[in-house]
């Protein structure tokens, strides 16, 4: 059964308003908040510019993992706004590419831009766009669980 009883917030930025009630996805979303926390720490501590590269690479890698998971669930659950959701994911991936280019050009406000984008993304995407697939995905997962029992 997919519940969130065992999920413990591991990020300073996370709050339960981001919970979708799908444990796998909620756990993955929390990972994004950890990356967001890392960005804020780097920004607040004025740490080495080279550390931004590590966060960007981790963000890029994790984004592909999470989006693949989410898109597979949406496909299997036959959600109605699948194509729109994928287009939103593409925007995020393109933004990471833009950040990597900006990093290569030593953009002095890159971290600030990343933090601003991520904050908006969490508010818009997780709180609104992702909520649209919750019902069909939960239904799919429950049916799958019932078949396995």
Instruction: Please list the pLDDT of the chain residue by residue as tens digits (149 residues).
Output: 444 444 455 777 888 888 999 999 999 999 999 999 999 999 888 767 788 999 999 999 999 999 999 999 999 999 999 999 999 999 999 999 999 999 999 988 999 999 999 999 988 899 899 999 999 999 999 998 888 86
Q: Structural domain boundaries of the chain?
A: 55-148
Residue 18 CA to residue 148 CA, distance in Å, equals 29
CA separation, residue 107 to residues 21, 36, 40, 50 (Å): 38, 18, 16, 12
Its pTM stands at 0.87
Is 115:41 a contact under the CB 8 Å cutoff? no
C-alpha count within 13 angstroms, C-beta hemisphere, residue 41:
11
Handedness of CA 119, 71, 67, 147 (dihedral sign): positive
User: Which tokens belong to 4?
Assistant: 């969130």
Q: What pLDDT does 133 receive?
A: 95
């Amino acid at each position: 059964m997919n519940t969130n009883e065992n999920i413990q917030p591991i990020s300073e930025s996370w709050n339960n308003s981001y919970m979708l009630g799908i444990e796998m996805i909620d756990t993955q979303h929390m990972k994004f908040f950890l990356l967001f926390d890392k960005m804020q720490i780097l920004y607040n501590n004025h740490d080495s510019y080279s550390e931004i590269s590590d966060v960007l690479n981790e963000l890029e890698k994790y984004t592909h993992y999470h989006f693949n998971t989410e898109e597979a669930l949406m496909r299997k659950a036959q959600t109605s706004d699948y194509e729109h959701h994928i287009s939103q994911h593409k925007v995020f991936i393109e933004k990471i590419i833009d950040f990597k280019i900006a990093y290569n050009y030593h953009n002095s406000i890159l971290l600030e831009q990343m933090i601003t984008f991520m904050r908006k993304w969490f508010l818009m995407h997780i709180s609104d766009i992702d909520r649209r697939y919750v019902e069909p995905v939960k239904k799919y997962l429950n049916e799958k669980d019932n078949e396995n029992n």
